Structure 1
Amino acid sequence: MRVSRGFDKVETWVFDLDNTLYPARHELWQQIDRRMKSYISGLLGIPPDEAFTIQKEYYRRYGTSLRGLMIEHGIDADAFLHHVHDVDLSGLDEEPRLAAAIRALPGRKLVYTNGSASHARNVLARLGLQAQFDGVHDIVAGDFHPKPTAQAYQLFLEAHEVEAPRAAMFEDLARNLEVPHELGMTTILVAPPEESHHARESWELEGREARYVDHVTEDLAAFLEHLLSATA
């Protein structure tokens, strides 16, 4: 029988950004998705439906569409990131309950995203979470190596001097938890029940029962509150 790792040794709390610190129902990722499609369509001079196919193919093969475009087409990463993150954040509301729970966690709190740091800061500000985090590690800091590659996580750990066995990782994609678990991190999949209805590829929803997922929650704030009450 598999034994899930606990939190008694955790000193660093690592959170993915999009669809983890806010639910997918806000449809922010759908905006980013559409802007990636429009960028690729313009870049390659192809219809949007063909661009979308390429976008998703690169996403699955390389970890991010950006990484695929850099490898296959040598694009300007900064221009791509600026374009795709020029989105409307007005649908995001402050999350005081989540903010209080994150604030109460003992130790450092970091955001680790495959997006840009500027996008992360903008989202955190809208959610009222910017004061709760000690740093943001983005795709640029990772030298454009994305989760779920092992190199990406090694760069993250080294950059922030994180001891993997003393860290917990919160993610909305199970595949992004495999390497952290192998490195010794406690892994938590954030998967609200409505996620399957919000523009997810079927393979993105796989892995909920995988051996490298220690915990699954449908409500991040409630999970953290329960964890804090159990360790008080």
Structure 2
Amino acid sequence: MPRDFAHIDAWLFDLDNTLYPGSTDLFAQMNARIGAYVARLLDLDPETAHRVQKDYFISHGTTLAGLMADHGVDPYEYLAEVHDIEIDVLEQNAPLAAAIAKLPGRKIVFTNADAPYAQRVLDRLGIREHFEAIHDVHASAYHPKPHPHAYASVCEAYRIDPSRALFVEDMARNLAPAKAIGMTTVWVDNGSEQAPDADRSFIDHITHDICHWLESIQE
């Protein structure tokens, strides 16, 4: 490995819009289901529900976190509903599987989604076997990224030394807490929705395609 990455022995990857391209637009399906859930729960029109949804996303990290805090929503029920989407657009990605397999050290999916959904996505991409574990929102005790507890929980669960870990994520703001505890950070800038924050000082590396980036650091 190049010198910048020789010390890395734990590779953490976000799931959605990171391990597959943002252009697949799976989030459009999820956003629609989240909006419908909020509208039904709070008896709102679609436009107001969308505004509430995004306000929670910005202020709490996920819509779920806001709904749990203010309305006592059951996370299992919510996640089962919003993740009930078609993922047929995803295809087996043999080059990505090979690039992840070659990484020296442990590989973990670190996501604000839940494990059943993450497993579906990883299976569809053909890369599930290369990951030791999925650290999901349940494992983070419903403190989603970018809440500092999420990062502490994944490090504690797998005895990760943050100074020897690298985190790959498409949401730029979710890299700030990782950098704060010493992780190397990689932003997958692929056009996915971002929170209104222009600060990028905590990003070490930027790529538009995680597969190509992984291949480039292994050459």
Q: TM-score, normalised by structure 1?
A: 0.91
**Of the candidates 60, 63, 71, which is equivalent to residue 62 of structure 1?**
60
* 1:29-68 pair list within 5 angstroms: 29-68=27-66
Q: Whole-Å Cα distance in 2 between the matches of residues 51 and 202 of structure 1?
A: 18
Q: Structure 1: how far apart are the matches of 2:149 and 2:211?
A: 30
| Matched residue, 2:217 | 227
Q: Distance in 2 between matches of 1:82 and 1:45?
A: 20
- Aligned-pair identity (%): 41
Equivalent residue number for residue 4 of structure 2: 6
Alignment of 1:141-160 (within 5 A): 141-160=139-158
Q: What's 1:111 paired with? A: 109
User: What is the Cα deviation at residue 175 of structure 1?
Assistant: 0.6
Contact 1:189–1:216 (CA under 8 A) maintained in structure 2 = yes
- Distance, in Å, in 2 between the alignment partners of 1:70 and 1:116 is 15
Q: Is the 8 A contact 2:173 2:195 kept in 1?
A: no
Cα deviation 1:159-195 (Å, max 9, x = unaligned): 1111100100000011101111111110000113xx1
Shift of 1:201: 5.0
* Superposed displacement of residue 202, structure 1: 6.3
CA distance in 1, matches of 2:36, 2:207: 34
* Cα distance between partner residues in 1 of 2:51 and 2:10: 37
Q: Contact 2:64 / 2:75 at 8 angstroms: preserved in 1?
A: yes
For residue 203 of structure 2, what is the aligned residue in structure 1?
213
Structure 1 gaps, min length 5 = none
**Kindly tell me: are residues 201 and 151 of structure 1, through their superposed partners in 2, closer, same or farther at Cα, counting changes over 3 Å?**
closer
RMSD of Structure 2 on Structure 1 (CA): 1.3
Question: SS where residue 49 of structure 2 aligns?
Answer: helix
TM-score (norm 2): 0.96
Q: Alpha-carbon deviation of 1:212? A: 0.7
Check whether the contact 1:6–1:186 (CA below 8 A) recurs between aligned residues. Answer: no
Deviation at 1:219, TM superposition (A): 1.5
Separation of aligned partners in 2, 1:29 and 1:68: 18
Structure 1 runs (4+) deviating above 4 angstroms are none
Deviations 1:113-159 (A, max 9, x none): 00100010000001111111110000000000000011111111101
Q: Work out whether 1:23 is the aligned partner of 2:21.
A: yes
- 1:203 aligned partner, one-letter code: P
> Aligned pair 1:203/2:196, yes or no?
yes
**1:218 positional shift:** 1.0
Q: Pick from 69, 73, 76 the counterpart of residue 71 of structure 2.
A: 73
User: What's the CA shift string for 1:41-62, capped at 9, x where partnerless?
Assistant: 1111111111110000001000
Find the residue that maps to 1:146 and give its secondary structure.
coil
Q: Size of the alignment, in residue pairs?
A: 217
Q: AA paired with 2:98?
A: A
- 1:93 is matched with 91
